[in-house]
Amino acid sequence: MKRELEYVFAALRFFTRLPVPAWVGHDAEQLNHAARYFPLVGILVGAIGALVTELAALALPIGVAVLLGMAATVLTTGGFHEDGFADSCDGFGGGWDKGRVLAIMKDSRIGSHAAIGLGLLLLTKWNVLVEIDATFGPPLLAMTLVAGHAVSRLASTVLIRFLDYVRDDDSSKSKPLARRMTGGELAIAALCGLAPCLLLPPADLLAALAATALVTLFAARYFLRRIGGYTGDCLGATQQVAELAFYLGLLCNFS
């Protein structure tokens, strides 16, 4: 039990900027097993975003409140996944072969593909969340945020389970995610990722999960075709797009 708790805190330390107890330590083995709790971290990140959104909405227009909630999640993760999405936009948008794609993604500079892609992603996410609130009210928006952050991180863990990690350099910050997950670890991730979905109406949830599954399948096939597997940036990109797909699925079904 203590070992599993260490894995939880290791995931929290790796995927967010939140503090963890000093007794957890920095064992490399912890990071190798931390991905199973990636969706659990998503629950926490989503809850922080939902709390900030709801508190801000008490005094500010909902559009501003949603923007502040989004900012809170970015601050919590240090923009970890947004950075991966931006790097993926540059890499796959500007690279024609595997070597060039990986080289561009590793470049810390932001290009036109990244700027345009990230801007459109965040703007669309903001607009969809505002529409969900306008149609169904604050309680559903809060539950949607928690579920969306959890399910989208489950989407990323699916890639870890079924695809190969394609970088072979030890300097990669996502090297701990290179070990392929076991079926049992994926089951833990699925339990954590799908649990918040119980807060949403089943009929409406179906469209959201279907949209997320389709995006995850497309991402897996695309990454496999272009570079033969995934990188840490690919996981971040999948999380971001899957989160948006979850929200869009809910909104489409609601409409």
Domain locations in the chain?
2-254
Task: Tokens 């570079």: give the residue.
Answer: 227
Identity at 171, one-letter amino acid code: S
* Residue 18 structure tokens: 């939140």
Query: pLDDT tens for residues 156-203?
Result: 999 999 999 998 765 555 555 667 788 899 999 999 999 999 989 888
pTM over 0.95: no
Task: Round to whole Å and give the CA distance between 114 and 116.
Answer: 6
pLDDT tens, 95-120? 889 999 999 999 888 999 999 999 99
Q: Contact at 8 Å (CB) between 46 and 153?
A: no
Half-sphere exposure of 21 (CA within 13 A, CB side): 8
Residues of the chain falling short of pLDDT 50 = none
What one-letter code names the amino acid at 243?
E
